[in-house]
Structure 1
Amino acid sequence: MNTAPRTSTLHEGRLTASGVILLLVVASFGSLLLSLAPQGRWVLGTFALGSGIAATALMGAAAVLSARWSWVESAFGGLDRVYAVHKWLGVWALVFASVHLVLKSGDPSWQVAAIVQLPGGAARLVRQLSFVAVMVIVLLALNRAIPYRVWRWWHKLSGPLFLLVVLHWLSFRSPIALGSPAGLWLALLSLLGVVAAAYKLLLYPLLARHAEYRVESVSTNATSAYLELLPEGRAIAFEPGQFAFVSFKREGLREPHPYTIASAGGADGRIAFMVRALGDYTARLVKELQPGVVADVYASFGRFSRRPDGRTEIWIAGGVGITPFLAWLEDPASATQAPVTLFNFITPGRELPERLDLTALAARRGVELVEVTTGPGTPSFRAHFARIVAQAGPAGVQVSACGPKGLLAEVRRLMRETGVPDDALRHELFEFR
């Protein structure tokens, strides 16, 4: 998605993709083994049928994660982590669905029956269509070449397509009874998935936290825009560093896109966003958006709020990843006694709009600003980072990073070289899909 960086988070102690996938797969195979007679458990058909149960469970969980429920975001530590796990749930669902399709899910020792009887060859047709549904959902999620405006509408089919998967396991002749451990497990994940998909497709625009804002000012240059919006009625509460989904009520700009909030809020409830012209939509937005346009703002999401704890802080921003740090700098809480250094990696020709004076903002908050126009491998940057660590001690440093994967990888490497523990890093996942 070619927009501002999306959500951020503290990830320590939160659910991870590998942990969730392992839990769902083990529970799927475990419930099946408990549902089978001892003599029919350890056969190849068990692996095939268990793979089908696992694929269904993974898809149901993926639907739950896509609903943007606040309790789900809290469990994973931020919506960026939620969507990363959501992607891998889909990938592994396709893997297990493929195994289920290729292998025979049966054994002569099993007593089989369908929970729901379908006429004629309908059950076989549903089986084939359910696999196609899984494949379509995953390919849509992973294909970054699809324009967002197209991807968004096709991805809305995920919920209805999941119903095909549910109908398949209900109509497939298998040893799973609805009241068995495997039947109850499938029913639970299917119900949660269907409810979540229905909520996201039908109820989210009505029930999710949102408010109407009007664009008050637009400051642009050739590559970016700084937007300030005022609420038409009530304002949405947020913390600096969080993000929102924004849909501008103007032809060609109605697609809801996520943008990191670039302001700390104020008495008038204003909210600001920094947008880079990185794709067709954002280029049009930077070029065409004018004051007076009304927007629906869905907020707030993300966990990249600043948490000073007395340690020396190192902030590292790459490109549009400067956005949450703009909000931190505007926040009066940024003026702390602990030293703060902001490394801002910029590409010449992609400077901030004139409305934003980063140097003055940093000076006002007592933050040391270091502009880097080359890259994270620059000796001067690495030396400066090492000096800060040497002065504060590896345990006395807190690192906050927002930027592309390559930058984050270099930051991790530099932390290891200087002895800074891994849990001192707080970062966002820069890509949303």
Structure 2
Amino acid sequence: MLSYNLTTSPGTNRLTGKHPGAIIFWGIALLVIPLWMLSYPETTVKHNATPFLVYASQLFSLTGFALLALSLILTCRLTFLENWFGGLDKVYKMHRTTGKFAFFLILAHPIFLALRWIPTDVSKALWYLFPLHRRMEIDLGSWSLWGMILLVIFTLVVKIPYDKWKISHKFMGFFFILGVAHIFFQGIFFSENPALGIYMGLLSVGGISAWLYKSVLFDLVKKKSLYSVTGVRYLNNYIVEIELQPKKKKDTHFRPGQFYFFSFLSEDISAESHPFTICDHSRDGKISIMVKSLGDYTHRLYALIKPNTPALLEGPYGRFNFKTASKQQVWLGGGVGIAPFLSWANYLLSHPDDPLSVKLYYCVQNAAAATHISTFQALEKKMPHFHVEVISQETDGYFHPENHPEIQNSDIFFCGPRNMRKAVCKELKALKIPKARIHSEEFDFD
């Protein structure tokens, strides 16, 4: 059966809300710069190349390589990384950021080298970007780069379905290995700078190991729990509540507001895993989640989920925890982003916290879209300082923090759609609300 665990996560400063993950990872990535400067190799490139172009291309490639290795490590769903960054959503956000920087820095590497022939030989400069060199180790780098370009095209231009994109994304590790071969087969200046060689070697091993773990071993070694769908309740035209029962009675610890990755084992529904918050649980181990029909996968899940469908759960994840903040709080849930707050409300119904003062703003498109209002109203009766207010876009307009003065002296917890999150964060910044008092969880991080 499921049980609650309300301890705060390690690696977090409870008073400031700061996490060391970003500092650690950027520090590791940028360490390559002073290590490279220790050797500061003399270029032997012909054609009277400007040393700046050669040195800049080296720095770009080494820094991009370091970031790419770290971005692969960030995909592994490791507990200590979640603690360092303050949640899996923050880990994946860092993964996207490091991946983007890595791509553009690596892309700049051959471009800067090709600029050596501008304007004297433009055609040679253009051909330099392709794997048409006389040295295999150089061609390996070109193939690595073009492989990454192809993946970026699939992501940003073609926009293939998520399950197909996820498969294609696994090739990133293969292109990373080509990059490793490109670097080490050349030797370059590692013989003159063993420290840089060791640094790059460790990153290579870390990146390749992370890719193999996530692509090959993850589903084999990661602990998963088998559940079965026992109930399907349609809350409105686009949200369904799914109830599940564990196949085996066992004690699974999770914190209210946390989520699992669910894989529903049905021929009609893709077996890919997606994150859903545990909205409620009972003593016999039953749990419930809410699913909103937003994309291809959730549309199929909404339309085709049936009782007795098996499901695999992997987790829990998330560091979204009202216990880490002050007793004066504002909860802001948008649409299906109400799920973690519903989880907290269900917990507080059986574990009241009278000193806790909460104002919950439930933002929806219209009044009919608001679900589980009775749960929040029941908590209002049980906890004297808990209040809920539904804000309908049709009748009340958008939520604006400046119209709610209690925000100035409260810790703010937010979960909702991306556009709403951006707008709210922008207004909170204008109100000079300290970042340490703003807590959020993003579900658009797959």
Q: For the superposition of Structure 1 and Structure 2, which TM-score range results when normalised by the shorter chain?
A: 0.7 to 0.9
Which among 413, 420, 441 is matched to residue 400 of structure 1?
Answer: 413
Q: TM-score, normalised by structure 1?
A: 0.83
Structure 2 counterpart of 1:368: 387
Shift of residue 308 of structure 1? 6.3
Which among 193, 204, 213 is matched to residue 199 of structure 1?
Answer: 213
Percent identity over the alignment is: 25
Structure 1 counterpart of 2:337: 321
Residue correspondence of structure 1 range 5-404 to structure 2 within 5 A: 12-15=17-20, 19=23, 22-36=26-40, 43-104=52-113, 121-140=135-154, 145-172=159-186, 174-177=188-191, 180-220=194-234, 221-233=236-248, 234-253=250-269, 254-263=271-280, 265-307=281-323, 311-332=327-348, 333=351, 335-348=353-366, 351=369, 357-366=374-383, 367-374=386-393, 378=397, 382=401, 385-386=404-405, 388-389=406-407, 394=408, 396-404=409-417
Tell me if the contact between 1:140 and 1:155 (Cα under 8 Å) persists in the aligned partners: no
CA gap of 1:134–1:334, structure 2 versus 1, over 3 A, is farther
- Aligned partners of 2:306, 2:84: CA distance in 1, in Å? 38
Count of aligned residue pairs for this structure pair: 405
Shift of residue 339 of structure 1? 2.1
Post-superposition Cα deviations, 1:222-274, rounded to whole Å, max 9, x if no partner, equal 211111111112353211111111101101321111112212x3422222211
Describe the SS at the equivalent of 2:190: coil
Post-superposition Cα deviations, 1:148-176, rounded to whole Å, max 9, x if no partner, equal 11111111222222211111112235222
Post-superposition Cα deviations, 1:83-108, rounded to whole Å, max 9, x if no partner, equal 11111111111111112111239x9x
Read off the aligned partner of 2:363 and give its amino acid letter: F
- Aligned partners of 1:203, 1:81: CA distance in 2, in Å? 23
Read off the aligned partner of 2:354 and give its amino acid letter: T
Tell me if the contact between 1:346 and 1:372 (Cα under 8 Å) persists in the aligned partners: yes
- Aligned partners of 2:145, 2:75: CA distance in 1, in Å? 20
Tell me if the contact between 1:319 and 1:403 (Cα under 8 Å) persists in the aligned partners: yes
Q: TM-score, normalised by structure 2?
A: 0.81
Root mean square deviation, CA, Å:
3.2
Q: Which runs of 5+ in 2 are unaligned?
A: 1-8, 45-49, 117-132
Structure 1 counterpart of 2:441: 428
Read off the aligned partner of 1:357 and give its amino acid letter: S
Q: Which moved more, 1:205-214 or 1:55-64?
A: 205-214
Shift of residue 56 of structure 1? 1.2
Describe the SS at the equivalent of 2:31: helix
Read off the aligned partner of 2:307 and give its amino acid letter: P
